[in-house]
Amino acid sequence: MNSKTKYYRRNGLFLLIFTAIVFAFVFLVFVPCFQKIKTNYEELSFQKERYLLFKYKKLNIEKLRNDYFRIEPQLKEVENLFLKTETPVSFLNYLEEAGDLSGLGSVNISSISQMKEKDSWPYLSVQISVTSGFSKFLNFLQRLENAPILLQIENLNISKKEDGSIVSNMLLKVFLK
């Protein structure tokens, strides 16, 4: 063999070994590093999303807290609109007083029952019968509308008698605390 051939063989063998070392280095070092970088990037993206979500929640909680402190006086007023469960007599006294101030002879309360609907406020159901003139009855309704407690007229039946007066039956829903 000639020296040139030995030289090319030796260089070829050296080149083959060097290429094998480079491929081994790439596959044993760079590929795992890139996979670890990719995994760390995904974890970092996930953590960033969580951070932004918590930051958004924190801002919402702060906004809610500020809104609460801003409307707290009105909330206390709303709290007073509900009839206390322990004192329904105060509402009955109010009905009688509203009837007297409206010029009604009497307000007949025929039934009272406490109800609790599913997913709703508890309430007191009150059946009222009134016989009076139309203007006095309207005055009574205005007093109910301006009552210091939260109520709703569920059912209202009005009929006219022969003497010109009206008979009214109504079902009131009075919301409780």
CATH number of 88-175: 3.30.70.60
Q: What is the pLDDT of residue 83?
A: 67
Q: What is the pLDDT of residue 8?
A: 67
Parts of the chain with a pLDDT under 70? 1-8, 80-81, 83-86, 105, 115-119
Q: Cβ–Cβ contacts within 10 Å for residue 139, how many?
A: 18
Q: What is the pLDDT of residue 117?
A: 63
Give the tokens for residue 95: 């009905």
Q: What is the pLDDT of residue 118?
A: 64
Q: Cβ–Cβ contacts within 10 Å for residue 140, how many?
A: 24
